[in-house]
Amino acid sequence: MEYFTETAPMLMVSKMAEEMKGSEIIKIAAEMKKMVANGDRVFNYTIGDFDPSIFPVPELFKNEVINAYNKGFTNYPLSNGTLELRQSVSRLLHTRLGLEYKDDQVLIAGGSRPLIYAAYKTVVDQGDTVLFPAPSWNNNHYTHLCGGKAIALETSSENDFMPSYLDMKAHISNTSLISLCSPLNPTGTSFKRRQLEEICELILEENKKRPDTEKPIYLIFDQVYWMLNFGDEMHVDPVNLYPEMKNYTIYIDGMSKAFSSTGVRVGWATGPTKIIAKMKNILGHVGAWAPKPEQMAAAVFLKNDNAVTEHLEAMKLKISERLNALYKGFIRLKSEGFNIDAVKPEASIYLTVKIDLAGRIMRDGITLENAKDITNYLLKESKIAIVPFYAFGAPVSSCWFRISVGQCRMEDIEPFFEALRAALSGIEELVEED
């Protein structure tokens, strides 16, 4: 039997698809998987996901998913989500954040990603300017999908990689959308109250200047990690700071991170009634609904305050002990004279670390030029898989990295530092300039 073989290597596709970049995280993960397949032990601190044996889904939630399937909830849900879940989300936001959103201002989808996409498509026209910090997760790609003009505001460790209103001020008059995340992926840091107040004030001031016939600046506020804050860190959000921001803010949230349910795919957005309605229309055509049984289960679980609190307390304890152990280990290396640094963890499942080996020489004589070289060196030399900030829109010259603890076992932390120390000790001195 003969099979058709495609022989047209220059097939034309859309300009958007041709110029769309793949995920750097997936590229690193692919290299790591090859090593694991060859029998190597790899310290996998890349993906923002959870090992279910360490971070299981809440027992009540799991049982309710099973019950929902057994009860036959396997037909189409409403395109904006089941009423039961939208009501539960509305209640959760009221009781735990003090935000007031009616069930018709809540949109359910198959995780947070479709909701971010729908929010972009709802408010961004071809050529519109979108502001977002660098590093941040996927804003550059969503802007590209919408044909927008991306302005990535480079941030620094001095401000815990959070953007300031001063970063935005020069661009504000031409901006259609500001996209923010707090706690921030990839850094694990959060907005302080005054930082976010200043950004809200900037948005409100600009929107007062714009006529009713012109689109206002909208704000996407991704707070999917907000329930994973530690110690004295308090989550702040735009509408609680300035109630008038409710007209312009689209919140993105979901089950995935706080409830270690990344594969369950239940996310929600809340915002102005018109915006949510338009997002619903977009996702209705895409068909990005969360499965109905999972929606029914989430509705039951989120209304059980004791189960939610119990899970969050256990989850935060396990995450914080891993983040703090890693943070102390990096600070110890810094004190020993290695060109290492770390930002104290505040929330989420991420630790921000600096591993600056740029300009140094490996044992085989090859010079490490940038973060891409450092990433490859750590993976091959020490079997350490971490994600450089250039995967989140920062320059490739940045030597800052994200470490995710969702797959981290406490007993692996000391071996991890032993492997890292060996890799650092195998680097020669800085290359001397002529």
CATH number, position 198: 3.40.640.10
- Do both 29 and 149 map to the same domain? no
Classify residue 432: in a domain, yes or no. no
What is the per-residue pLDDT for 230?
84
pLDDT of residue 4: 56
Is 91 found in the same domain as 177? yes
Show which of 305, 320, 344 is a domain's final residue. 305
* Cα–Cα distance measured from residue 7 to residue 219, given in angstroms and rounded to the nearest whole number: 46
How far apart (Å, rounded) are the C-alpha atoms in residues 189 and 185? 8
Question: Within 13 Å of residue 179, how many CA atoms lie on the same side as its CB?
Answer: 29
Task: Report the pLDDT value the prediction gives residue 34, as an integer from 0 to 100.
Answer: 84
Give yes or no: residues 205 and 129 share one domain. yes
Task: Give pLDDT, residue 11.
Answer: 82
Contact (CB, 8 A) for 265 and 291: yes
Residue pair 33/47 in contact (Cβ under 8 Å)? The answer is no
For residue 109, give the nearest of 84, 81, 137, 150 by alpha carbon.
81
Q: Mark which of 252, 271, 305 sits at the end of a domain.
A: 305
pLDDT in tens, 204-235: 999 999 999 999 999 999 999 999 998 777 89
Contacts of 309 (CB under 8 A, 6+ apart): none
Assess contact for 258 and 183: CB atoms under 8 A: no
Residues 6 or more apart in contact with residue 69 via CB below 8 angstroms? 293
Distance, in Å, from the CA atom of 202 to the CA atom of 204, rounded to the nearest integer, reads: 6
- State the pTM of this model: 0.93
Q: Is the residue at 86 inside a domain?
A: yes
CB distance 370 to 326 below 8 Å: no
Residue 133 forms part of a structural domain: yes
Query: What six digits make up the tokens of 298?
Result: 């989430």
pLDDT string in tens for the chain (434-residue length)? 555 555 556 788 999 999 888 888 888 878 888 888 888 889 999 989 999 999 999 999 999 999 999 999 999 999 999 999 999 999 999 999 999 999 999 999 999 999 999 999 999 999 999 999 999 999 999 999 999 999 999 999 999 999 999 999 999 999 999 999 999 999 999 999 999 999 999 999 999 999 999 999 999 999 999 999 987 778 999 999 999 999 999 999 999 999 999 999 999 999 999 999 999 999 999 999 999 999 999 999 999 999 999 999 999 999 999 999 999 999 999 999 999 999 999 999 999 999 999 888 776 677 889 999 999 999 988 999 999 999 999 999 999 999 999 999 999 999 999 999 998 887 654 444 43
Q: Which amino acid is at 53?
A: S
Give residue 330's domain range.
15-41+310-425
Diameter of the chain by CA atoms?
A: 75
What pLDDT is stored for residue 1 in this prediction?
52
Whether residues 167 and 275 fall in one domain:
yes
d(Cα 164, Cα 178) in Å, to the nearest integer? 12
* Per-residue confidence (pLDDT) for residue 323, from 0 to 100: 97
> For residues 132 and 152, is the Cβ–Cβ distance under 8 A?
yes
366 CB contacts (<8 Å, ≥6 apart)? none
Question: Is 89 domain-assigned?
Answer: yes
CA-nearest of 347, 257, 296, 365 to 70 is: 296
Angstrom distance (rounded) from CA 381 to CA 388: 16
Residue 207 lies in a domain: yes
The answer to whether residue 321 is domain-embedded is yes
- DSSP code of residue 227: T
| pLDDT confidence of residue 359 | 85
3-state secondary structure 159-189: HCCCCCHHHHHCCHHHEEEEEEECCCCCCCC
Q: Which of 241, 271, 305 delimits the end of a domain?
A: 305
Strands (E), 60-104: none
The size of the chain, in residues, is: 434
Q: Which residues contact 22 (CB under 8 A, 6 or more apart)?
A: none
- Predicted pLDDT at 434: 38
Residues 300 and 314 in one domain: no
Closest by Cα among 42, 99, 333 to 238? 99
Same-domain pairing of 32 and 70: no
Whether 108 and 227 map to the same domain: the answer is yes
Q: Is the same domain home to 252 and 392?
A: no
The pLDDT of residue 432 is: 42
Whether 219 and 365 map to the same domain: the answer is no
Residue 372: give its domain's CATH number: 3.90.1150.10
Using the Cα atoms of residue 422, residue 423, residue 426 and residue 432 in order, give the sign of their dihedral.
negative
Give the pLDDT confidence score for residue 433 in this predicted structure.
Answer: 43
CB-CB contact of 114 with 283 (8 Å) = yes
Q: Is 325 in contact with 412 (CB distance < 8 Å)?
A: no
- From edge to edge, which strands make up the β-sheet containing 387-388? 340-343, 350-355, 400-404, 387-388
Task: Decide if 433 is inside a domain.
Answer: no
Q: 245 in a domain, yes or no?
A: yes
In this structure, are 74 and 114 located in the same domain? yes
81 with 194, same domain: the answer is yes
Number of structural domains found in the chain: 2
For residues 320 and 277, membership in a common domain is answered with no
